[in-house]
Amino acid sequence: MRIMFLGTSAATSCPLVFCNCTVCKNGRTKKGKDIRKRSSLLINEDLLIDLGPDVPTSSSMYNIDLTKVKYILQTHGHSDHFDAGHLITRLQEYAPENVENISLLASKGTIKSLNRRLKAEEPDANLFDEDWQRRLSMDIRYMDNGDCIKLGRYFITAVESLHDISENSLIYVVNSNEKSILYGTDLLRLSDRAWDTLKRFELDVVILDHTYGEGFNAGGHLDSGQVIDIITKMKIEKIIHENSMIYATHISHEGNDIHEVMDKLVNKNGYHIAYDGLELNL
C-alpha cells in the first residue's frame, strides 16, 4: 500500500492567516514542511479519507488524479474535513464528464452533517434520497463502531472517536494485502468501546491526532502527552509491534514547534511528525 499525506494541519491550517508566532513566521519564510494544509489522506490511488477543502490543491501539487478515487471515508462533517462544494460538482449541472461511481462511508450522524452543508450549496439536496445519490454517482454506506465493510481490495473498520458525539465521528482501520493502517485524526480520546475494536488488530501504521503541544490542550483533540499515552497502551495491548510506524498529524501551532524541532523531540517517544506530501510504502 502507498500512503500519501495530502494535508497535516488542524482546522486553521498553518501558518495562520494573521498569526506572528514563531511557528507561523517560520512557515512564511522557510516554507517546506512548516506549510500545512487541512488534514486528509490518500491510500493507493483510490481511497481518500476526508474530502477536505485543500484536497484539490494537494492533488495538483503531488500529481494525483482524483478521478481515480473510488472510495471516500469521512471521519466527520466539520468544514476542515468536508467541503460540500467539491462534492456538488459531481452533478451533471456542473458539466463533469465521465464521472465514475464512488462509495462514501460515514456514520449516519456524519451524513446528516454533510447533508446540511450540501444544502447550503443546493437547497433541495438530500443524501438520504436514492435519486440524489444517483445524481451524484454515489452510494452511501453507514458505519458505527466495530463495523467492518469490504470495499474492493480493502477491509474498512470503523472506530468511534468521541470528537463530535452529535455526529458520531469515526476514525478508521484500513486493511489490505495483510497490512493494517489506523487513521486517527480528530480524536478526543479513545473510549473503552474503541479500544475493544482496536484490540482486533496488529497495526503496521498508526496515524494520530496531535493538534496541541503538551499543556496547550483547548479541548476536542489530543495533545502530545495524550499521544504518548495512547502509544504506550497500544504497546501493552500488542496493538502495535516493534516495526509499526507511528505518525502524528492534524498539527496546530498551539504548543507545537517548527517541524524540524518537533520531529526530533517526538522521535525520543517513538513516533514521527507527518508533513504534507509525505509518502509511505508498505
Give the separation between CA 138 and CA 37, rounded to whole angstroms. Answer: 26
Strands 272-273 and 170-176: unpaired
pLDDT digits over 226-276, tens only? 999 999 999 999 999 999 999 999 999 999 999 999 999 999 999 999 999
Contact between 69 and 104 (Cβ < 8 Å): no
**CATH topology classification for 2-277:** Metallo-beta-lactamase; Chain A (3.60.15)
Neighbours of 158 (CB within 10 A): 25
* pTM of the predicted protein model: 0.97
Give the separation between CA 37 and CA 277, rounded to whole angstroms. Answer: 10
What are the boundaries of each domain within the chain?
Answer: 2-277
Contact between 228 and 248 (Cβ < 8 Å): no
pLDDT digits over 155-209, tens only? 999 999 999 999 999 999 999 999 999 999 999 889 999 999 999 999 999 999 9
Query: Grid coordinates standing for 42?
Result: 490518500
Contact between 273 and 39 (Cβ < 8 Å): no
Going from the C-alpha of 224 to that of each of 9, 59, 80, 231, the distances in angstroms are 15, 29, 21, 11
Sign of CA dihedral 218, 13, 76, 237: negative
